[in-house]
Copies of this chain bind each other. A is one copy, B any other.
Amino acid sequence: MREDYTNQLASINEGLVSMADLVGKAIRGATDALLEDDLAIAEQVIAGDERINELNAEVEEMSARIAALQAPVATDLRLVMGAIRMATSLERMGDLAVHIAKQVRLRYPNPSIPAELKDTFSQMGEAASQIVAQTGEVISSRDTTLADNMKKYDDALDRLHRELFTVVLSENWSHGVEAAIDVTLLSRFYERFGDHAVSVARRVIHIVTGEPYAK
């Protein structure tokens, strides 16, 4: 029974790590599709989201089963309850990658972003890819010191998002209103992606330390 229980807890963690892994692939794919106007990659990202949604449901089911059968306490209980919130955040991160990919599909064969913003979005994609890789690391290692490291990527995403506004609102912006709205929404998707990654890491800290969850 105990061995079984330990395996079940490990399965929840593996589910979350798999989700982080797939979400990392999704945001890298979405960024590649965006930078290279690549419809095939965009379609892969969109289709790949189903597996992330399935894992989300699996994590919830496993958590419910353990809560019902094993009456976990302390750290284990926090893991079981926290896993549901983490899975929700990871699933939402997958959705954000899909939003980016769908924007590529919507504008294809036209480019989704003007050439002068490619570098900004490349940096956003890099920061988002790094932050979700760290999220996966924090979940699997429970090494809460790694969470500090994530702040720098989240700050980078916030800064890039602010900088993009300056570009779009400058006198030199020559791409019109629609392109301005497009790139602002795209940028917001990356920024929200970072926020969710940070909230997952904070959840792990709460599980490990038992300290109140800092929103």
Contact = CB atoms under 8 A, between A and B. Distances in A.
A78 interface: yes
A125 to B, nearest CB: 21
A177 interface: yes
A210 to B, nearest CB: 12
A33 B188 CA distance: 24
Nearest to A76: B68
A184 interface: yes
Interface string A76-113: 01101100110010000000000000000000000000
Interface residues of A, number: 32
Interface stretch (A3-11, A17-25, A56-64, A136-144): A56-64
B64 A81 contact: yes
Q: Determine the main DSSP class of A at the interface with B.
A: helix
A71 B72 contact: no
A213 B71 CA distance: 24
A178 interface: yes
Contact of A84 (B53, B85, B188, B213): B85
Given A169-B178, A181-B184, A71 B68 contact: yes
Interface string A176-215: 0110110011001000000000000000000000001101
Interface of A: 53, 57, 60, 63-64, 67-69, 71-73, 77-78, 80-81, 84-85, 88, 165, 168-169, 173, 177-178, 180-181, 184-185, 188, 212-213, 215
